[in-house]
Every structure is written in structure tokens, then in C-alpha cells.
Structure 1
Amino acid sequence: MRSFIYIIIFFAFFDLFAQLPIMSPFAVSLGATPFLAGLAVGMYSLSNIFGNIVSGVVSDRKGPYAILVFGLLATGIVLFSYSLSTGPYSLLAIRFFHGLAAGLTVPAAFTYLANRTDHSRRGKSAAVSGAFVGLAAIVGPAYGAIFASRSSVEQTMSFTGTLLAVLGVLAFFALKGQTIKKEPQSSKPLAFSDMIRNRGLLQSFTGAFFLMFSQGVLAYMLPLKVEELGFESEMSGLLLSTFGIAAILVFLLPVNRLFDKIRPLHTLFAGFILMGLSLFLLSGSSSALGMYSIMCTYGIGFAFLFPSINSLLIDSTEAESRGRAYGYFYAFFSLGVVAGSSFTGALALSADQGFAVTGGLLGAVAAAVALIEKKKRQ
């Protein structure tokens, strides 16, 4: 049944990535100002945070099955409402409910997966789920851009909604017999304040935030750098696909066994270093070959970091509190995307400056993780 959960994870992220190349032009076509167009793009991530937290709480109280099915069906239904958009403000309302509904699915899916995975294989399982996320990151934007150009944004979203609704119906029947009866909790559920005092969870949340912070910077700055260098605009999409392919290879090749043999903190440190170094080098690169090589290295760093933060979360929680932890985990994911693009935009940094600052920031986070671990051992 894990294979079916991987498919759910793929389509949940497919929905996210498919909208990236089409949402801001769609908002502008409805008469949105640049500010409202940016708000329409960001509204999804903001409401997604609340959906993530609700999903985590319900997963711990009732189990992940019901909220997983509801999230898929609700997202599918909301996607059909894009055809009702008549202006920027109606689009903002739809974006809010889209992000809220979509936020219910991912934490529940990962909680379902984690609770059914042997602890000795949790790193490899996280790597395989990461491969499906990476595949969605490659396929989703291409699907969104091509489908919308040949039909319309409304039809593109409706087709995605149909896929998710069908998946929700399948999940209702396929996972119903797989549910685990919730036992009465012997202790009070972990509050957020308790979670951030848990060293492993704090490291996991920090990794999730800065992983997506760097993604937000890339999504915002990479097209600008490609344009500044005079390359074709399609190159930014190819660069992102290159990073995704490199990550998927690490996730799926036998090297993924390392994530069960090496301590998560060590692979987390390596991931931060590789990603930070890649962004720093990207700030000074001006050749196409150099940029493709750097994005390969960034993808390897991403592939080291993603399973590490998942393993840290699993190691630091019990089944009865894992849903809530995953809810906050993916809330930090969404917050990181918003913070990354907003941070560099607010400081009015150039593309090269944004990459250099973010690379240095990731290096500083890696150093902090190493110092904390060293103090702990002493």
C-alpha cells in the first residue's frame, strides 16, 4: 500500500508545481496589478500553512485516513472553481481555499507512510517519497505551461481537479481497510512549544524552512539571472529540471541506502553545505555549462537534505504525535517558500546578490547544526 501513498504524494505536489508557470499571468489577465498578482501566487502558500497544521492535529486525533481522503476530494472540487474567477479578488478567494484544502493532504500522507514504515528503512522510504516530489517538480510545470497554452488555465486546473478527485475516491476504498484503530492517548498531545524544545524536531523544522527558503529564492531569482545573461527564457525551466533529475537519481539509486546507515544529522550537514556552495557558485557563474553543473550539485544537496529532515522527525516522535509534527513540518515548508522570495525581494537584491546571500545563510545554518551537535557530545 506504500506505492499508493507515493502516488498520492506525487499528485499532491504535481498540483503545486503545475500552477507555478501559469498563475501570475492568469491573475494579470483578470486585471490584477503586480501587487495583487504576487499576492495571488503567495496566497496559496499562506493558507497552505493553516491546512498543514489542521491536518496534523486531525491525523493525531482521528488518524490520517479521513483527513487524507477529505483533502484530496476538497482540493479536486476547489480546482473546478477557477472557472468562476471574474477578477483578481475572486481569484484571491479561490487561491485561499485551494491552499487550505491542499494543505490537508501532504502531512496526512507522510504520517500514513511513516507509521507504516519499519524504523530501519525510514531513510530509504523518505528518499523514495522525495523522488516522487522531484518527479512532480519536473513534470508539473511542463504540464501546466503546455496544457494552459493549448487550452486555458481554467481547463488546466479542472483537469488536475479531476485527477485529484478520482484519486480521493480510490483512496477512500483502497485505504479504508488499512486504517489503524487509534488507541486512547496515555499522555497529553505535544504542543508547538514542546516541539521546538525537542532538539530533533527543531532541527527537522529548521531544515524544512531553509530547504524551501532556498527554493523560493531560486524560483524568484533564477529566471532573472537567465534573462540578465541573455539566454532563452526556457533555460530557467531546464535548469530547475536538471536539479530535479539529479535529486531523483540520488533518491532512487542504491546510494539511497546511505540514509539508513549514516546519522541524519551528518547527511543534513552535507546537504546544507552542498546547497549553500551551489548557490554561492551560481552567483558568480555566467556560462550555461557552469550553471547546469551547479544545479546538478544543488540537486544532490537537496537529495541529502530531504530524507535527513524526515528521518529526524520520525526519530523524534511517536506515532500518536507524528501527524501534528508533520503538520508543522510542512507549515515550515510553505513558510520557507514565502520567506525566500519575500526576503530577497524586500532587500531589492540582484539575482547574484540573492544567490550569494542565501548560499552564505545555508552555510551558516550548517555551521550552527555542527556546533550544536558538538556541544551536545561534549
Structure 2
Amino acid sequence: MRLHPISLLRITGLLDGISLLVLLGIAMPLKYIGGIEQAVTIAGSIHGGIFVLYVLAIAYSALRVKWNLLWPALAFAAAFVPLGNFVLDWQLKKAQSKYELKPFHYGLLVYSIVFFSFFDLFTQLPVMSTFATSVGASSFVVGFVIGLYSLTNTAGNILSGILTDKIGPFKILMAGLLLSSGALLLYHFVDRPSILIAVRLLHGFVAGLIVPAAFTYSANTTANNEQGKKVAFTGTFVGLAAIIGPAFSGIMASKTSVPFVFTCVAVIGLLLAVLSAFFLSKFKIVKKTKTDGASPKLVSILNAGVVKSFAGAFFLMFSQGVIAYLLPLHVQSLGYDSRLSGTLMSTFGIIAVLLFVLPTNRIFDRVAPSVTMSAGIGLMGVSQLLIGQATTTLTLYSVLGLYGVGFALLFPSINTLLINATPPELRGKAYGYFYAFFSLGVVAGSSLLGWLPFNTIGGFLFTGTLLLCVAVFAAFDKQRQRTADARS
């Protein structure tokens, strides 16, 4: 039997109240009277951890229990008053039987998992190149290390897609969350390039298990006529990760260390694993159906819509890989620190989220996804051309904002193309290959620019020109297809 949300709130509240009394009544006198400073350090750390769990219990109760917001507000305030939690527990015990439970929104948890996976990715962008340099990596190894994560991520994506269709997304999500959290903690042991390479190999592979399973879950629980808007809403959480991740890692790394940043991300992954164990275990997978004649795998997966979505995914992350590699170096060459790199990378996420959540998201159910795909790639290409020419903070923010518009058009488009072109029973495998191309794009973007004899400005010019060529080709292909349809 699952623990009632109010019971969970009471347990964590009592623990929080006890730890507060220990901190105030025992640890602080030991420090200020007995001179034992470690007492406050230890008790304060324990109390801080319990308080985080208590806040999560408050949030969970607010989502599940049909009561007004006064209860969560009182519960939060009680944590700051000695004996307040004990008085609150007395009231909660009487109130527990009076309030009904609301059904849990499973989609919110899936969105949170998507957020975690991309938050893991985006927190790496502003700091990985400088972190690799700090442990003695050469310029070639720096580019290789950035791309290596995505290279092994490709294998994880493909394996995740295959296993998701066979055993369902739950076990794959759990494995990905737990193993990714463990891999993030290994960065504490990195002190030379060889160890960094080994950690990146493992981290990339296990992180690749998460996203195909999460997107398959989301796609298979959505009506076909709402896929565009639903993907845009899912993209909101990707955008939030793009906003929070780089800014968080850039600021925190400048104040603490890169391994500490990754430890914070690992804690989020472990919390989501615990929640998933409670709420996603009952998801029923779609059974495959047998068809006569040609293999359904070839008929369903190898078609024009899927190929376009794979290409869009590749060039989206090719562009992202170039930014991950070159933008911190460009910012550093202008005399700024990693904090600006983080906030710049967050800028495109802010613009993308606005386009996802505002009524502009209706475009993805009204305009053909191949059209918005071409427009998105073109805008991203223009922004790449302009980044290398930008030398002030204002122009850098403006160009990254334009990049965000392109990202907002491209990401939902390629997902909608994929969903419309695949049946539910093969969607896990399709998403596995889709995110494999995602990962390969980052590898190609960061590694290729590390190999080619370009400086930062030349690298941005090369990437922008390539993306514009792809956008023109995609638009031409769309027009050719219209002409062929008209003739037929």
C-alpha cells in the first residue's frame, strides 16, 4: 500500500522538527560554548537534507490532496518555528481523513525526466571544454571529449529504443536515471585526460537510455491530432533545461567546481528515480502486431518522414555541438568568464520556451512540419554566421535569441515528423535511432570543428554556411514533392 501524501508530509515534518531542535538546542551550544565547530556543520548538513525532503513532501501533497493553498503555506512556515512541526502534525493527523486525493499527473513526471536528461546535457556545455583543459587536455582532446559523450550516447539511444519496444519504457527509464546519476558522481575522480575520457564514455552511454523511452511514453499517450502541441509542450521542458542548465553550471562552476555541479544534477536524477519507482511502474506497453508480407520494421521506419526527422535531429545538434565547443572559447577570447557563456546559452532557451508556451505553439498543428523545419534550420544557420562577428554582450545575446527562434521551430517539427511517420509499436526503436542522430550531430559538430584548421570565427562561418545549404535543400525538396503530388 502506498504511503498517503499527508502521512509522508507528517513523517518528514517530524524529522525536520527534530533536526531543527538538535541544531538549535545541542549543536549551536556545543559550537559557541564548547568551541566544537563541527557540531553545527554536521547537524546543519543533516537538517538541510531533511528540509529539502520536507519541501518535496509539501509540494507532493499540494499536487495530490484536494485542499487549499493555506495548508502548504502553513507547512512551509512551520519549518522555521521551533516546535512548529509538532503542532502542525497534530492538525494534520485530524485533517488527513477529511480531504480526498487527486489523481497523479503521470505526464508531469515524464516531463521532469525529459528535463533532467537535457539538464544533464546543457549543464556540460559551458564548462566541459574549460574543465578538460584544466586537467591537461590538448585542444584536440577537448573537442574529442565533448563529442565522446554524444558518441557513446548514440549506442545508449539505440539500445534504449530496441528495449523500450520489447519491455516497455519503465525499466529503461529507471536504469537510465540510476546509472546516469552514478556516472555524474565519477567526475570527482577525474584528474587527468585519460580518466576524463573513461568517465565520458560511461556517462554518455547510460544517459542515452533515458530520452527515447521518455519520448515514447509521451507520444504513445497522446492523441494524433494533438501531437504537434504536445511535442511543443514537451519542448518547453527541454527549453527550461537549456535556460537553467548553462546558467546554473556557469555560475556554480565559477564559485565551486565542475564536479560539484554534476553532483547537484545527480541528486535530481536519484529523486526522479524514486518517484518513477512509485508512479510509472504500471505503464502498459503496446504489443506488436504481426503483419503479412513485407517486414513491418522496414515499411514503418524507413520512409521519407522519418529520414527528414533524423536529418533535422542531426543538424540541430550539430549546431549545438559547435556552440558547445566554440562559444566558451569565443567568450573567453573577448575577455569574459564562464558565467557569460552560461547565460548566453540560456538565452536561446528562454526564447524557445516563450514560443512553446504562448499561442504561437498552434503553428505546429497548422503548418506542415517540413516547412517549420526548413525555417528553423535557416534561422539557426544565420545565427551561426553572426555569432563569430558579435563582440559585445548585447549583440551576443541578440544572436543567441535568434538561434532560440530557430530551435523553437525545429525541435517540435522533427518530433512531429517522426511521430506521424511511425506506428506506436515501433516508436521506441524509431526514437532510439532519432536520438542516435541527435548524439551523432553533437559528435560531428564538436569533433569536426576540433579537427579542421579553423579559428572560432571561421568555425562559426563554416557551420552557418552548412546549415543554410541544408535549409535551402529542404525547402527545395518540399517544393519538388508538392509538384510531384500535383502531377499525380
Residue type matched to 2:290 in 1? S
Give the drift of 1:271: 1.0
Give the drift of 1:36: 4.0
Q: Which residue of 1 aligns with 2:365?
A: 260
State whether residues 56 and 327 of structure 1, in contact with CA within 8 Å, keep that contact through their aligned partners in structure 2: yes
User: Identity percentage over the alignment?
Assistant: 50
Q: Which residue of 2 aligns with 1:354?
A: 459
Q: Indicate whether 1:210 and 2:318 are aligned.
A: no
2:125 is paired with a residue whose SS is coil
The 5-angstrom pairing of residues 358-373 of structure 1 reads: 358-373=463-478
1:190 is paired with a residue whose SS is helix
Question: Comparing 238-247 with 28-37, which one deviates more in the overlay?
Answer: 28-37
Aligned-pair RMSD on alpha carbons?
A: 2.4
CA distance in 1, matches of 2:401, 2:132: 33
Q: Which residue of 2 aligns with 1:163?
A: 268
Match of 1:317 among 419, 422, 426: 422
Give the drift of 1:68: 1.2
1:230 to 1:18, Cα distance in 2 relative to 1, 3 A: closer
Q: Which residue of 2 aligns with 1:62?
A: 167
Q: Which residue of 2 aligns with 1:180?
A: 284
Residue type matched to 2:195 in 1? S
CA distance in 2, matches of 1:29, 1:285: 27
Question: Comparing 70-79 with 32-41, which one deviates more in the overlay?
Answer: 32-41
Report Cα offsets for 1:231-287 as digits up to 9, x if no partner: 666433332222121111101111101111111111112112222222233344444
Q: Which residue of 1 aligns with 2:446?
A: 341
- The structure number with the bigger radius of gyration is 2
Q: Which residue of 1 aligns with 2:111?
A: 6
Give the drift of 1:332: 0.9
CA distance in 2, matches of 1:291, 1:176: 45
2:289 is paired with a residue whose SS is coil
State whether residues 264 and 309 of structure 1, in contact with CA within 8 Å, keep that contact through their aligned partners in structure 2: yes
Q: Indicate whether 1:138 and 2:243 are aligned.
A: yes
State whether residues 62 and 182 of structure 1, in contact with CA within 8 Å, keep that contact through their aligned partners in structure 2: no
Query: Using CA pairs below 8 Å that are at least 6 residues apart, which structure has the higher relative contact order?
Result: 1
State whether residues 60 and 320 of structure 1, in contact with CA within 8 Å, keep that contact through their aligned partners in structure 2: yes
CA distance in 2, matches of 1:265, 1:22: 34
2:415 is paired with a residue whose SS is helix
2:284 is paired with a residue whose SS is coil
TM-score (structure 1 length as normaliser): 0.91
TM-score (structure 2 length as normaliser): 0.71
Q: Which residue of 2 aligns with 1:110?
A: 215
Report Cα offsets for 1:133-188 as digits up to 9, x if no partner: 121122112333444444444443333222212211211221122x1244243144
State whether residues 73 and 169 of structure 1, in contact with CA within 8 Å, keep that contact through their aligned partners in structure 2: no
CA distance in 1, matches of 2:323, 2:420: 30
Residue type matched to 1:349 in 2? F
State whether residues 138 and 241 of structure 1, in contact with CA within 8 Å, keep that contact through their aligned partners in structure 2: yes
1:324 to 1:80, Cα distance in 2 relative to 1, 3 A: same
1:152 to 1:364, Cα distance in 2 relative to 1, 3 A: closer
Match of 1:330 among 403, 426, 435: 435
Question: Comparing 308-317 with 66-75, which one deviates more in the overlay?
Answer: 66-75
CA distance in 1, matches of 2:440, 2:288: 32
Q: Which residue of 2 aligns with 1:281?
A: 386
State whether residues 246 and 345 of structure 2, in contact with CA within 8 Å, keep that contact through their aligned partners in structure 1: no
Give the drift of 1:337: 1.1
Report Cα offsets for 1:307-366 as digits up to 9, x if no partner: 000000001000011111111111111111111122233222233332222222222112
1:181 to 1:357, Cα distance in 2 relative to 1, 3 A: closer
1:85 to 1:356, Cα distance in 2 relative to 1, 3 A: closer
1:352 is paired with a residue whose SS is helix
CA distance in 2, matches of 1:280, 1:91: 32
2:162 is paired with a residue whose SS is helix
CA distance in 2, matches of 1:293, 1:318: 40
1:243 is paired with a residue whose SS is helix
Match of 2:395 among 290, 302, 306: 290
1:21 is paired with a residue whose SS is coil
The 5-angstrom pairing of residues 193-232 of structure 1 reads: 195=301, 197-229=302-334
Q: Which residue of 2 aligns with 1:91?
A: 196
1:140 to 1:289, Cα distance in 2 relative to 1, 3 A: closer
Q: Which residue of 1 aligns with 2:158?
A: 53
1:26 to 1:268, Cα distance in 2 relative to 1, 3 A: closer
State whether residues 303 and 421 of structure 2, in contact with CA within 8 Å, keep that contact through their aligned partners in structure 1: yes
Q: Which residue of 1 aligns with 2:297?
A: 190
Q: Indicate whether 1:299 and 2:401 are aligned.
A: no
CA distance in 1, matches of 2:135, 2:357: 42
2:297 is paired with a residue whose SS is coil
Residue type matched to 1:185 in 2? T
Report Cα offsets for 1:47-84 as digits up to 9, x if no partner: 11100000011111222121111111121222233334
Q: Which residue of 2 aligns with 1:122?
A: 227
1:149 to 1:357, Cα distance in 2 relative to 1, 3 A: closer
State whether residues 376 and 410 of structure 2, in contact with CA within 8 Å, keep that contact through their aligned partners in structure 1: yes
State whether residues 75 and 165 of structure 1, in contact with CA within 8 Å, keep that contact through their aligned partners in structure 2: no
